[in-house]
């Protein structure tokens, strides 16, 4: 066994292969990733040399393909991600679309509103606003033709940016995105906010104890 084999076939105190654990961790990360994951980030997370990460990804990709899985590991936009196999696109489309007559969910409506008002916007930015992973919902919206990729962020990672489509405008009967109602129309005015704040304000216990009891009967 040469030095390279020794470095990748280490064993922990329980006798389990360290590389096997690394592969499992790699799969787990890629399974939940919303966008392609850069090899350098994977190397940092897995505490492995980037060469090892690249090799493991290549081996996994080959293994998935040989096993005939319905998904594949691909390198795209400089990173790795898991995706459904292209030859099963018709089944995936049938699942995602199901029926165009099905009402859009409240989660999808919320996500669509965020994209409409904040576009261009990335998945991670939508996630930060909603507080949940929007990947599945955004895939549905994209499959239905309501949102589309409009470019990439100039920052690190060059995240994919999304915006609404012409179909979105047609469904709402709008000539352009500028015709969307202003967000201020959905925000209560200052008097309502003040009343809510007064009603929800917590009175310190010290102040409560100093208030004379109501003697009216």
Give tens-digit pLDDT for 44-57.
999 999 999 999 99
pLDDT value, residue 122: 93
Give tens-digit pLDDT for 184-193.
665 555 665 5
What would be the CATH architecture of the domain defined by 100-184? Orthogonal Bundle (1.10)
Contact, 38 vs 30, CB < 8 A? Answer: no
Residue 56's CB: how many other CB atoms inside 10 A? Answer: 21
CATH of domain 3-88: 1.10.10.10
Residue 31's CB: how many other CB atoms inside 10 A? Answer: 10
What residues are paired with 72 via a beta bridge? 83
Contact, 49 vs 73, CB < 8 A? Answer: no
Contact, 46 vs 25, CB < 8 A? Answer: yes
Give tens-digit pLDDT for 27-41.
999 998 878 899 999
> Whole-angstrom Cα distance, residue 90 to residue 97?
10
What letter would DSSP give residue 187? S
- Would you state the structure tokens that stand for residue 148, as one six-digit string? 């589309």
Give tens-digit pLDDT for 12-25.
444 446 688 899 99
What letter would DSSP give residue 185? G
Give the residue range(s) of CATH 1.10.10.10 domains in the chain.
3-88, 100-184
Quote the distance between the C-alpha of residue 3 and its chain's center: 40
Quote the distance between the C-alpha of residue 4 and its chain's center: 37
- Would you state the structure tokens that stand for residue 210, as one six-digit string? 């100093």
Q: Which of helix, strand or coil describes residue 136? A: helix
Closest among 153, 157, 154, 139 to 77, alpha carbons compared: 157
Which helix (H) or strand (E) segment is 74 a member of? strand 71-76
Where are the extended beta strands (E) located within the chain?
71-76, 79-84, 121-122, 147-152, 160-164
pLDDT value, residue 193: 53
The band of 3, judged by pLDDT with boundaries at 50, 70 and 90, is: very low
Q: What percent of the chain has pLDDT over 90?
A: 40
- 78-96 burial by CB neighbour count: b if 16+ within 10 A, else e? ebbbbeeeeeeeeebeeee
Q: Give the list of residues 6+ apart from residue 175 with CB closer than 8 angstroms, or none.
A: 169
Q: Which of helix, strand or coil describes residue 204? A: coil
What share of residues in the chain are helix, strand, coil (percent, to 5)? Answer: 55, 15, 30
């Amino acid at each position: 066994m040469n030095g390279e084999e020794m470095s990748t076939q280490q064993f922990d105190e329980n006798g389990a292969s360290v590389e096997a654990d690394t592969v499992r961790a790699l799969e787990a990360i890629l399974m939940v990733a919303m966008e392609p994951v850069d090899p350098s980030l994977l190397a940092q997370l897995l505490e492995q040399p980037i060469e090892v990460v690249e090799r493991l990804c290549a081996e996994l990709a080959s293994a998935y393909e040989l096993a005939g899985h319905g998904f594949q590991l691909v390198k795209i936009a400089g990173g790795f991600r898991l995706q459904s196999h292209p030859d099963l696109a018709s089944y995936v489309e049938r699942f995602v679309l199901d029926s165009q007559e099905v009402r859009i969910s409240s989660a999808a409506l919320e996500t669509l509103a965020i994209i409409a008002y904040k576009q261009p916007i990335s998945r991670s930015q939508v996630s930060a606003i909603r507080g949940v992973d929007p990947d599945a919902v955004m895939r549905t919206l994209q499959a239905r033709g309501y949102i589309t990729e409009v470019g990439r962020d100039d920052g690190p990672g060059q995240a994919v940016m999304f915006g609404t489509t012409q179909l979105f405008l047609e469904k709402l009967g709008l000539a352009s995105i500028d015709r969307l109602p202003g967000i201020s129309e959905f925000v209560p005015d200052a008097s309502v906010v003040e009343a809510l704040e007064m009603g929800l304000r917590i009175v310190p216990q010290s102040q409560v104890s100093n208030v004379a009891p109501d003697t009216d009967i």
